[in-house]
Structure 1
Amino acid sequence: MFDKGDYDRIGPRNVPNFIGAPDVPERQKTMIPRTTPTAAATLADAGATARASRTRLMLEAPIAPTLGKLAAPNVLAMFVQAAQSIAEAYFASLLGVTALAGLALVFPLVMLTQMLSAGAIGGAISAATARALGASDVDRAATLTLAAWIIAISFAALMAVLVALFGTQFFILLGGGDETVSAATTYALVFFPGCAAIWLCNASLSVIRGTGNMQMPALLLLMISVISIPLSGGFALGWGPLPALGMAGLPLGVIVAFSAGAFVAIGYIILGRTGLSFRGAVRRINLSIFGDILSVGALAAVNTVLTTVTIIMMTGLVGRYGEGALAGYGLGARLEFLMIPVIFGIGAAMTAMVGANIGAGRTDRALRVAWTGSLAAAGIVGSIGLLLAVFPDLWLGMFLDPSNTVALEAGRSYFRLVAPFYAFFGLGLALYFASQGAGRMVWPVISSLSRMGIALVGALLLTTYAGMGVEGIFAAIGCAMLAYGLIITLAIRHSGWR
């Protein structure tokens, strides 16, 4: 400790730089650096405190109320995103049946992008972040964030190149006519070059969810949907000063909205609001960091691709029965896909909670989280399915005039035969999200393979040998959903993620 004598002997220039040294002249004091915290440091400290508190809640608080609190904003945001997809189909219907059929051709690829970026890879990012924080390794969580952005950009570039090279041939393979294929290609050539914005936005939101913060991602997705709906309609139909771009305008509004969302989400993380510090994060990037995401994300992506391939194969089979049948089935398949974001609202919360508890070595609690959330998801989605099985025109009537008899009949047949099995679809998909948090993806992949096999083989048998036509395809889809939910449920019940 310095005293007055020390100061007299060594002089003011050699006094250590701290505020309030005894009898230091005022002029000298002004030359001594002050150590008051910056605004950025204060934000980072507040973010770290909030992040630690959220992790503790996921590990210790009662499961059902905590899961409900985390899932509620996600579910609300997903319903609004579903409204965005509904609005897009409505705008396409205003452009004509050909545009609606073209949207049915490209829609599986669009949903593949959303499911991969937010669900498969996004869920793996969220799970890896949650496991790192559950193990109290904050530095690893920050490094995983950088890896997540690199992975997102790489996947977006790959998808854009593949669609540019093979998109038109793919739409032809699905059975679309010249005008329908042209509409689908027009949409794709705008959407996929811009999908980097979707990938970066969803990767960033997945990191934020992994810290236990569900409110901010939900609010941002609400903002994106609120922006994209009028922009998509405006660019497609020429509202106000916006040009009438037709089919190309539908995806343009979505890309613009997600670009704004990506900017906000990345800024939120970089400014320290998640409590993650990136000092030294670049040096810590290695193969194990990427492996932590991709070891789960790759299998999850396989599961997502299988789900999408199932829809694509069914679209190809339905396409043989004409444009009207394709338009009707496209509306049914769109609602099926819209159940995925609704389940994701609960599944994202499950992924974070399960991941945090697995990271902390609390497997029994992680399993209780999984069953609680999965049964809730099955109940919500199953109720929607039963309602539309009885009253299919509640959905179809929003897009089709009574004069579109072929499309209406196809859509009604779809809901009568498929919608009663939505509960099993919801149960299986929710357990898929829980399995991401646990880092155990083998059984979700097996259940998706089974679903695809049953749907394809069943559809071929029922249409070829039973003469059921398009209704045979729909019956096979329903049976495949039943198998999907039962297989993953029984597997996790028996193995307990051991």
Structure 2
Amino acid sequence: MSTVALAPNAATQRMLDGPVLPTLLRLATPNVLGLFANTVVIGFDGYIVGRLGADALAGVAVVLPLAMLMLQMSAGGLGGSTTAVVARALGAGDAPHATQLARHALLLGLAASLLFTLVASGSALYGAMGARGGVLAQASSYAAVLFAGAAAVWSVNVLAGIARGTGAMGSAALALVGTTAMHLVLCPLLVFGAGPVPALGVAGAAASTVTCSTVSALGLLAWLSRRKAAVRIIGPAWKLRSATFRQILKLALPSAMNPVLSNGSIAVATAYVATFGSLAVAAYGIAARLEYILVPIAFGIGSALTAMVATNLGARQPARAKRVAWVGAGLVWGVTGLIGVGAALWPQAWMALFSSDPTVLAMGNTYLRIVGGAYGFFGLGLALFFASQGAGRLSWPLVASTARLVVVGVGGWLVLRVLGGSAESLYAVIAGSLLVMGVTLATATWLSNWATGRQAA
């Protein structure tokens, strides 16, 4: 590890002394645009799969928590942690160590992808989540292809995290936009078939995701291996060190637990919803897909928060780091809150994009009317998670996510099993869990002292 402090690159210098809001917006804008591309993919996949019928839609809905878990662990967990440690090293003027951290993070991503391939490719897991018959068959078909290509998803997200750590938000965003553009063409072709290309059904949507992620990962790898890159992946000989792996894992493991807890909440909610039938699961899958769209929006701003907070703490500027956190969190709260209010007032505008079944529409509309009002607190919690990640302080984000899981698990059990409540009562519990998560983390962040120097990386 180098001990010579070098002058920071231009992007790092802006994060250290540029005006907070303009700098944050400058960094976040390409992220939001790029991750809006992910939003398009989420909605587009639902639209395409919805044309295959209720069983296909419900089958993908069952897999969706695991798919989003992989996405969030790779992008927000390891990818975000990589952004934090790389940015902190560059903020301290140590570019050689930043390069070592980036290389080790990529290897950790490949190892983590193997775990998803082994655990999530089979059908037993989805049967345990409540899928039966045709729904289970569709879920199994989709999962087998998606998780067989897990390495592509992990690689592209870790490489994007490295780019963000150097302040090159535009390059990471360009990779996401390119992935989306390819997927919009390839997905319907593989799902429905055309000419010599056979129709693969739901497996085609997964195959398109894996293929497009592979192409984008290779593009980012080439860009990050340029001779003038702030962090160069392919170049001088790699020197693997257990201490460097530990430094990343010290932040990445608790970071990865947060999406586990968040998606655990969704998986538990899905299991509870399944007691009302497959159409209820399909409705919940469509409605909850809007929550997954909020995640990329929060991530677009949140990844800029991670980089700015980490860079400023690396340069020993804790007061500025805290100010950055609150400015970004307020921005995310406002955007996601407005989306939630819109969903609560006009739920049919979202639901009708994916289904025409009157039962599915009715149940989905009810869900959004009840839960949409809590989306701002969901966004607030996500933004403060990314800020806490940059600060290397993840205890309270884990407490907040655990509280959400407990509210859904225990509250859902009480209203359904003990009180014999309706779907509406379950939806109210879900809304309450989002409120608890956001308020808990906001309170903890307000009370924390980032000047103490306690950091995970």
Indicate whether the TM-score tops 0.5: yes
1:93-172 residue pairs with structure 2 within 5 A? 93-164=50-121, 167-172=122-127
Q: Given residue 221 of structure 2, which amino acid in structure 1 is its aligned partner?
A: I
Once the two structures are TM-superposed, the CA of residue 418 in structure 1 deviates from its matched residue by 0.7
Cα distance in 2 for partners of 1:94, 1:276 equals: 44
Distance 1:273 1:82, change over 3 A: farther
Preserved contact between residue 166 and residue 231 of structure 2 (Cα < 8 Å) = no
Preserved contact between residue 120 and residue 143 of structure 2 (Cα < 8 Å) = yes
Preserved contact between residue 208 and residue 274 of structure 1 (Cα < 8 Å) = no
Match of 2:246 in 1: 291
Match of 1:488 in 2: 441
Structure number with greater Rg is 1
2:336 maps to 1:381: yes
2:432 maps to 1:479: yes
Q: Given residue 383 of structure 1, which amino acid in structure 2 is its aligned partner?
A: L
Preserved contact between residue 78 and residue 255 of structure 2 (Cα < 8 Å) = yes
One of 364, 379, 382 as aligned partner of 1:426: 379
Match of 1:31 in 2: none
2:234 maps to 1:282: no
- Runs of at least 5 residues in structure 2 that lack an aligned partner in the other structure: 1-5, 453-457
Q: Given residue 304 of structure 1, which amino acid in structure 2 is its aligned partner?
A: P
Q: RMSD between aligned alpha carbons?
A: 1.4
Say which SS state the counterpart of residue 123 (structure 2) adopts: helix
Preserved contact between residue 211 and residue 274 of structure 1 (Cα < 8 Å) = no
Once the two structures are TM-superposed, the CA of residue 467 in structure 1 deviates from its matched residue by 3.2
Greater mean alpha carbon deviation, residues 146-155 or residues 265-274: 265-274
Once the two structures are TM-superposed, the CA of residue 231 in structure 1 deviates from its matched residue by 0.8
Match of 2:160 in 1: 205
Preserved contact between residue 443 and residue 488 of structure 1 (Cα < 8 Å) = yes
Q: Given residue 159 of structure 2, which amino acid in structure 1 is its aligned partner?
A: S
Q: Deviations over 1:127-153 (max 9, x none)?
A: 000000011111100101110111011
Once the two structures are TM-superposed, the CA of residue 277 in structure 1 deviates from its matched residue by 4.7
Cα distance in 2 for partners of 1:431, 1:496 equals: 14
- Runs of at least 5 residues in structure 1 that lack an aligned partner in the other structure: 1-47
2:320 maps to 1:365: yes
One of 193, 202, 211 as aligned partner of 1:256: 211
Once the two structures are TM-superposed, the CA of residue 468 in structure 1 deviates from its matched residue by 2.6
Preserved contact between residue 234 and residue 240 of structure 1 (Cα < 8 Å) = no
Preserved contact between residue 226 and residue 232 of structure 2 (Cα < 8 Å) = no
TM-score (norm 1): 0.87
Preserved contact between residue 116 and residue 304 of structure 1 (Cα < 8 Å) = yes
Match of 1:84 in 2: 41
Cα distance in 2 for partners of 1:129, 1:171 equals: 37
Once the two structures are TM-superposed, the CA of residue 466 in structure 1 deviates from its matched residue by 3.7
One of 216, 219, 223 as aligned partner of 1:268: 223
Cα distance in 2 for partners of 1:384, 1:274 equals: 38
Q: Given residue 143 of structure 2, which amino acid in structure 1 is its aligned partner?
A: A
One of 8, 11, 18 as aligned partner of 1:61: 18
TM-score (norm 2): 0.95
Preserved contact between residue 61 and residue 285 of structure 2 (Cα < 8 Å) = yes
Cα distance in 1 for partners of 2:393, 2:243 equals: 17
Match of 2:3 in 1: none
Distance 1:291 1:466, change over 3 A: same
Say which SS state the counterpart of residue 34 (structure 2) adopts: helix
Q: Deviations over 1:402-459 (max 9, x none)?
A: xx12211210111011110000000011000011111110000000000100111111
The percent of aligned pairs where both chains have the same amino acid is 36
Q: Deviations over 1:94-147 (max 9, x none)?
A: 111100000110001110111011101110000000000011111100101110
Greater mean alpha carbon deviation, residues 458-467 or residues 342-351: 458-467
Match of 1:42 in 2: none
Match of 1:309 in 2: 264
Corresponding pairs, count: 445
Q: Given residue 201 of structure 1, which amino acid in structure 2 is its aligned partner?
A: V
Q: Given residue 475 of structure 1, which amino acid in structure 2 is its aligned partner?
A: A
Once the two structures are TM-superposed, the CA of residue 288 in structure 1 deviates from its matched residue by 2.1
Q: Given residue 16 of structure 2, which amino acid in structure 1 is its aligned partner?
A: L
Distance 1:132 1:190, change over 3 A: same
Q: Deviations over 1:150-196 (max 9, x none)?
A: 101100111101123xx312111121121101100100110011110
Cα distance in 2 for partners of 1:122, 1:417 equals: 33
Cα distance in 2 for partners of 1:436, 1:227 equals: 31
Match of 2:408 in 1: 455
1:304-453 residue pairs with structure 2 within 5 A? 304-401=259-356, 404-453=357-406
Cα distance in 2 for partners of 1:83, 1:241 equals: 27
Q: Deviations over 1:212-253 (max 9, x none)?
A: 111111111101001012211110011354321111101111
Match of 1:175 in 2: 130
Cα distance in 2 for partners of 1:494, 1:239 equals: 58
Q: Given residue 78 of structure 1, which amino acid in structure 2 is its aligned partner?
A: L
Once the two structures are TM-superposed, the CA of residue 465 in structure 1 deviates from its matched residue by 3.8
Preserved contact between residue 459 and residue 475 of structure 1 (Cα < 8 Å) = no
